[in-house]
Amino acid sequence: MFETLLLIALTKSAPLILAALGGLLSERAGIVNVGLEGTMLAGAYAAAVGSLTAGNPWVGLMVGGAVGGLLGLLHALACIRLRSDHVVSGTAINLLALGGTGFLLFRTFGVHGNTPTVPKLTPWSLPGLNPDLFRAVPTVYLALAAVAVAHLVLYRTVWGLRLRAVGERPEAALAAGVPIRRVQYGAVALGGLLAGWGGAHLSLGDLSQFVERMTSGRGFVALAALICGRWHPVGVLAACLFFGFVEAFAEGLQGEYALPSQFFLALPFLLTIGVLAGFAGKARPPAALGRRVGEEGI
C-alpha cells in the first residue's frame, strides 16, 4: 500500500535529511563538511550507549546529538582556528569515528559487531491519521520539522542572513561587523548536532542496537543530496526523499528477482552517483565555500 511505502521511505530518508541539513548549515557558512559519515556513526554509537546506560532512548538521542555537536566543534576548530584543509579535516573525522567506535565497542562490551539490544524509540501516530497505517518513530517527525525550522532560520532571521553572508561574501560580512568565526563555529556545531541525531535514528529508531559501520555510506549520500538540493532546505528534503524511496524500492524488489543481493544493496548508491553526475555541474555552491579562514584578511 502507498501508506506503507511512504512510511518506509520516510524512515529511510530521516537520517539523510538530518545529516544533509547539518551539512547545509556548515557549508552555508563556508566550511566544507565531508565528515558527516563519521559524525553520524559516532552519534549512533553514543545514542545506543546512552540509551542502554540510562534505560531511556530519549537520553540516548540527546547524547548522540551532543557527541555529534562536539565532533562538529572539532571540525570547526581544525578549519577555523588551525586553518586546516576542510576535506582533510572531514576525512580525519570519518576515520576517527570508524576506528573509535569499533575500539570503544570492544572495550565497553567485549565484543565486535554490535551492542546488546537497547531501549528503542516508540513510534508515534499523528492526530487525524489512522494509527494502523501510519506510525513513525519521533526522529522522522524531527527530520521533517528540522527542514521547516532550517528554512525559517535561514531566510527569516538575522542569524540566517549573517550565515548566508559569511558563506557568500565574507569580506562584506566582516565590514558590516558580523563576527564571522562565531557564526561559523555555531553553524558547524549545530550541523554536527543534526548529523548526530541522524546517526541516533539508525540505532534507536531503525534498529535497537549499534552495529559497526551501520551508517553504510549514508553520510556521503547526504552530501550528494545537499548538492542535488542546491544548498536549500526544501531542495535537500526533495533529494533525500528521492533517495529514501529508491532504498525502499530496492528492499522491496530484493525478493522479487533472482539477482545477487549485493546488486540491490548497491542500487541506491549507483543511482546516487548518476543523479550527482547530472546535478553537480549545474549546482552553484556558496561562493566562499572551502576558503580557509584567515585568507585575504579574514
Q: By the 8 A CB rule, do 68 and 197 touch?
A: yes
Confidence of residue 128 (pLDDT cuts 50, 70, 90): low
Taking 80 as the threshold, does the pLDDT of residue 253 lie above it? Answer: no
Q: Give the residue with greater pLDDT, 133 vs 112.
A: 112
Residue 168 has a CB neighbour count (10 Å cut-off) of: 16
Confidence of residue 297 (pLDDT cuts 50, 70, 90): very low
Residue 41 has a CB neighbour count (10 Å cut-off) of: 33
- Percent of the chain at pLDDT > 90 equals 59
Mean pLDDT value of segment 25-46: 95
Cell numbers representing residue 40 in the block: 553520524
Instruction: Please give the torsion angle defined by the CA atoms of residues 4, 9, 15 and 19, in that order, rounded to the nearest 10 degrees.
Output: -150
What is the per-residue pLDDT for 112? Answer: 86
Phi, psi (5° rounding) for residue 194?
-65, -45
Mean pLDDT value of segment 238-242: 89
Q: Give the residue with greater pLDDT, 49 vs 128.
A: 49
What is the per-residue pLDDT for 295? Answer: 45
Structure confidence by residue, pLDDT tens digits, 183-239? 999 999 999 999 999 999 999 998 899 999 999 889 998 998 898 888 999 999 998
| Rounded CA separation 189/197 (Å) | 13
The string over 245-259, giving b where at least 16 C-beta atoms fall within 10 Å of a residue's C-beta and e elsewhere, is: bbbbbbeeeeeeeee
Total-model pTM: 0.89
What is the per-residue pLDDT for 267? Answer: 66
Phi, psi (5° rounding) for residue 136?
-120, 155
Within the chain, what is the greatest distance between any pair of CA atoms?
63
Q: Give the residue with greater pLDDT, 177 vs 284.
A: 177
Confidence of residue 296 (pLDDT cuts 50, 70, 90): very low
What is the per-residue pLDDT for 219? Answer: 92
| Rounded CA separation 163/290 (Å) | 15
Cell numbers representing residue 91 in the block: 576525512
| Rounded CA separation 51/210 (Å) | 11
Cell numbers representing residue 105 in the block: 565497542
